[in-house]
Amino acid sequence: MPILLLVVLLGIVEGLTEYLPVSSTGHLILATELLGFRAEDWEAFNVAIQPGAILAIVVLYWRTFWDVLTGLFRRSPDAWRFVRNLLVACVPAIVLGLLIGDLIEAMLGSAVIVAWALIVGGVAILVVERLVKPRDCGGVANLSLRQSAGVGIVQCLAMIPGVSRSGATILGAMSLGVDRKTAAEFSFFLAMPTLGGATAYYLAKHHERVSSEMYGNILIGSAVSFVVALIVVKLFVGFVTRYGFAPFGWYRIIAGAAALVWLGLR
């Protein structure tokens, strides 16, 4: 397979899965292996194209961020609570990432871990959807410190490839009484500092893995993931508001089981 085609396909996978509760990292690892390449060799690329998907959130929610920015200067309580909640939710992942970063990176090439994590996460989605009855809380700024910290702690589970950062944060928020729409948007906003910081830390630590020839591929992959993420995020909120997260739970279980069968037969 031509490298350019692989770059485009991985960019599509990143854009499709980054904000859905199905694990973008897990899908990138499985996609790389399925297409005949070693996941370890494309680890740096898969991390480096995440800013494309992050930029999609900036574009789609620019008015929200602008209102928060201007609200900070006006000393708006809502703006300050919005920023506070994001910062509080980021802290657990930052601390744990610094403590066990090497262990996390060691798991990034394991397709078997991804497959099992997809199945377990799918079951978790179905359980939460059936048992939890969240109520409309009126937006991210209205979350309590306890809810924000709880979401941040649950987000740490996503350090295991295949768990899904968006899935963990959304389900964690719903379990704490947050409605689906606010939970999804909190997950989107939380992706910016969390993924941005994780990407910068990884590339600073492993800059030697990014060759000069790779920069062009990273730009292409990032651009593709940006465009695809724009479309996916716009459709996602409306979909989950109407149908919930159960379809993603069943998808994860089927995809994980199929991956285990494929890995056992190859």
Q: Residue 44 has what pLDDT?
A: 80
Q: Residue 93 has what pLDDT?
A: 85
131 in Cβ contact with 174 (< 8 Å): no
113 — pLDDT class (breaks 50, 70, 90): confident
Kindly state the helix (H) or strand (E) to which residue 202 belongs, with its residue range: helix 180-205
Q: Residue 247 has what pLDDT?
A: 92
Whole-angstrom Cα distance, residue 207 to residue 211?
A: 8
Whole-angstrom Cα distance, residue 154 to residue 170?
A: 9
Q: Residue 106 has what pLDDT?
A: 66
Nearest one of 234, 226, 252 to 12, comparing CA atoms: 226
Quote the mean pLDDT of the chain. 86
Whole-angstrom Cα distance, residue 256 to residue 254?
A: 6
Whole-angstrom Cα distance, residue 40 to residue 46?
A: 10
Is the pLDDT assigned to residue 82 strictly greater than 80? yes
CA distances to 241, 245, 246, 251 from 236, rounded to whole Å, are 8, 10, 13, 15
Q: Which residue has the higher pLDDT, 33 or 209?
A: 33
Q: Residue 148 has what pLDDT?
A: 93
Is the pLDDT assigned to residue 142 strictly greater than 70? yes
211 — pLDDT class (breaks 50, 70, 90): confident
Is the pLDDT assigned to residue 251 strictly greater than 90? yes
Q: By mean pLDDT, which of 11-25, 31-45, 249-263 is the weakest?
A: 31-45
24 in Cβ contact with 56 (< 8 Å): no
Domain regions of the chain by residue span: 3-265
Q: By mean pLDDT, which of 13-17, 41-45, 55-59, 147-151 is the weakest?
A: 41-45
Q: Residue 36 has what pLDDT?
A: 79
Q: Which residue has the higher pLDDT, 133 or 48?
A: 48
**77: which residues sit within 8 A by CB, 6+ positions away?**
none
Is the pLDDT assigned to residue 64 strictly greater than 80? yes
Q: Residue 200 has what pLDDT?
A: 82
